[in-house]
Chains A and B, each alone.
Chain A
Amino acid sequence: GAVVSQHPSWVICKSGTSVKIECRSLDFQATTMFWYRQFPKQSLMLMATSNEGSKATYEQGVEKDKFLINHASLTLSTLTVTSAHPEDSSFYICSAMVAGGPGAKNIQYFGAGTRLSVL
């Protein structure tokens, strides 16, 4: 159980184009999904927290207009990198948290990640 699918796993695009990454919880409902960015040989940096049906909460320093997040359902969140540039090349990882309730323990389950290369 608790499987998170992320697609695509690897994408190469030209500078100036937009790229959409999908994150799906396959066997549970996730009211909250998270988007992380990981630079080579570094830890994960939280970019934004995505709540179903509401606007995402972005971390300080993350451009809202560049990294568009949509959480349209309890099982799907998308991250769109708009007008991508080479400096946006990175490994992007999503996670989904089991829907809260009494005794919810803030457990995040992670997708396999998406490697974005902008030429």
Chain B
Amino acid sequence: AQSVTQLDSQVPVFEEAPVELRCNYSSSVSVYLFWYVQYPNQGLQLLLKYLSGSTLVKGINGFEAEFNKSQTSFHLRKPSVHISDTAEYFCAVSFYGGSQGNLIFGKGTKLSVKP
């Protein structure tokens, strides 16, 4: 079965510190990978995506992620966080050839940036 695991439900960090939000997936076929951010009472905003090519992808707001096929991971990183990065972050996977592009979401990681 295909699944997405976000290992940390909450990540507290101080402002200007680096952060890594972990995401692992399970699949027997090729995947497309996404990170979305959700601010309180809002929808999801696409941070970045991996479709093919370079395994290091850069997104908005200074975030980047690296696709590691051997470890089936797609961890999200930012070298220096801001208070405004406080939000819920969701990793999602779409499977190549999957039904109509359905996304499977992880359970989310709440990033709390403290001053």
B12 in the interface (beta carbon within 8 A) = no
Chain B residue contacts of A112, Cβ below 8 A: 42-43
Chain B residue contacts of A100, Cβ below 8 A: 101
- Tell me the dominant secondary structure on chain A's binding face: strand
Chain A residue contacts of B44, Cβ below 8 A: 44, 93, 95, 110
Contacts known (A43-B105, A49-B102); A105 close to B41, Cβ less than 8 A: no
B63 in the interface (beta carbon within 8 A) = no
A77 in the interface (beta carbon within 8 A) = no
Contacts known (A105-B32, A105-B51); A115 close to B41, Cβ less than 8 A: yes
Contacts known (A106-B32, A111-B43, A112-B43); A44 close to B105, Cβ less than 8 A: yes
Interface size classification for chain A:
20 to 34
Q: Are A110's CB and B90's CB within 8 A?
A: no
Question: Which single residue of chain A is at the shortest CB-CB distance from B106?
Answer: A43
The smallest C-beta distance from A74 to any residue of chain B, in angstroms, reads 15
Chain A residue contacts of B36, Cβ below 8 A: 110
Chain A residue contacts of B106, Cβ below 8 A: 43
The 0/1 profile, CB within 8 Å of B marked 1, for residues 49-81 of chain A is 101000001000000000000000000000000
B residues lining the A interface (CB < 8 Å): 32, 34, 36, 41-46, 49, 51, 90, 94, 98-103, 105-108
Chain A residue contacts of B94, Cβ below 8 A: 106
Q: Are B51's CB and A44's CB within 8 A?
A: no
Bound-state Cα–Cα, A91 to B46, Å? 18
The 0/1 profile, CB within 8 Å of B marked 1, for residues 79-119 of chain A is 00000000000010101010010001111111111010000
Picked from A6, A44, A97, A115, the residue with its CB within 8 Å of the CB of B101 is A97
Contacts known (A32-B101, A105-B51); A42 close to B107, Cβ less than 8 A: yes
The smallest C-beta distance from B42 to any residue of chain A, in angstroms, reads 5
Bound-state Cα–Cα, A46 to B93, Å? 13
Bound-state Cα–Cα, A115 to B42, Å? 9
Chain A residue contacts of B101, Cβ below 8 A: 32, 97, 100, 104, 106-108
